[in-house]
Amino acid sequence: GAGVSQSPSNKVTEKGKDVELRCDPISGHTALYWYRQSLGQGLEFLIYFQGNSAPDKSGLPSDRFSAERTGGSVSTLTIQRTQQEDSAVYLCASSSYHTGISGNTIYFGEGSWLTVV
Amino acid sequence: AQTVTQSQPEMSVQEAETVTLSCTYDTSESDYYLFWYKQPPSRQMILVIRQEAYKQQNATENRFSVNFQKAAKSFSLKISDSQLGDAAMYFCAYRSAGTGRRALTFGSGTRLQVQP
């Protein structure tokens, strides 16, 4: 696609439920990132996928969070047994894997706003 | 680990005036990339300008320019002829060019208000 696409745009869920957030990166981009932004806060890195390499999961806050990337394209971030502190905007981004600044520029989607009630 | 610091939580500028947003970073690497992103209320992170560390020339994109001081590890953003549409959160970000951590490291952001 022309840009990074995320769905749903907004999600309200009850505490304890599981949620799935989807990200479709820019066509041809091999790198995909998930970030979390709580209200009024900066961006917190969650996970990074690059091609067929093992993902960098160092930012996942707990084992309730997981992500997968199927076929090297679409990614799903899953939050199990949601808690109120999980309420945030979840931003997905992608980049190509070429040298130079074009290959190192990361483009973001519009985010998925998650509210846990 | 790299860190990015934005020491100005909020800034205000009059329409048509110039404003400079500060950013400093800490790294032991010599090759990296620096970015400024804008986040309006719509939440989407929009790339404003980018800089390669090994290029001494400061990047410029229309009304936006940077002052990149590699030795001082400083990367400030100058917005000239400010417009109402420039009002947003601005984030400075660092990315390693090496094979290590490849995700962006962000500063805490600066909220820019533009007064008519």
Q: What is the CATH number of the domain that holds B51?
A: 2.60.40.10
CA atoms of A16 and A26, how far apart (whole Å): 32
pLDDT at B44: 87
pLDDT at A15: 97
* Residue A59 or residue A71, greater confidence: A59
Tokens 């009002």 sit at which residue? B87
pLDDT at A1: 54
CA atoms of A25 and A75, how far apart (whole Å): 8
Confidence of residue B101 (pLDDT cuts 50, 70, 90): low
- CA A64 vs CA A67, A78, A83, B79, B116: distances in Å: 10, 8, 10, 42, 46
Instruction: Using a CB–CB cutoff of 8 Å, tell me whether A113 touches chain B.
Output: yes
Find the CATH number of the domain harbouring A65. Answer: 2.60.40.10
pLDDT at A49 over 70: yes
B103 closest CB neighbour out of A42, A48, A105: A48
B108 closest CB neighbour out of A42, A50, A107: A42
Instruction: Using a CB–CB cutoff of 8 Å, tell me whether A89 touches chain B.
Output: yes
* Inter-chain residue contact B50 with A89, CB threshold 8 Å: no
Q: Give per-residue pLDDT as tens, B72-87.
A: 999 999 999 999 999 9
pLDDT at A26: 92
Of all residues in chain A, the one with the smallest CA distance to B105 is: A45
pLDDT at B32 over 60: yes
pLDDT at A36 over 70: yes
For B102-114, b/e burial (b = at least 16 CB within 10 A) is bbbbbbbbbebeb
Q: Where in the sequence is the domain holding B65, given as residue range(s)?
A: 3-115
Domains in chain A, number: 1
N- to C-terminal Cα separation, chain B: 41
Chain A residues touching residue B88 (CB < 8 angstroms)? none
Instruction: Using a CB–CB cutoff of 8 Å, tell me whether B109 touches chain A.
Output: yes
Q: Where in the sequence is the domain holding A73, given as residue range(s)?
A: 5-116
A107, A3 Cβ separation under 8 angstroms:
yes
Instruction: Using a CB–CB cutoff of 8 Å, tell me whether B37 touches chain A.
Output: yes
Instruction: Using a CB–CB cutoff of 8 Å, tell me whether A67 touches chain B.
Output: no
pLDDT at B24 over 80: yes
Domains in chain B, number: 1
B114, B83 Cβ separation under 8 angstroms:
yes
CA distance A94 to chain B (A): 10
CA atoms of B18 and A109, how far apart (whole Å): 29
Q: What is the DSSP letter of A47?
A: E
Instruction: Using a CB–CB cutoff of 8 Å, tell me whether B64 touches chain A.
Output: no
A43 closest CB neighbour out of B33, B102, B106: B106
pLDDT at B30 over 60: yes
CA atoms of B7 and A66, how far apart (whole Å): 33
Percent of chain B at pLDDT > 90 equals 79
* Residue A47 or residue A40, greater confidence: A47
Over range B2-23, report the average pLDDT: 96
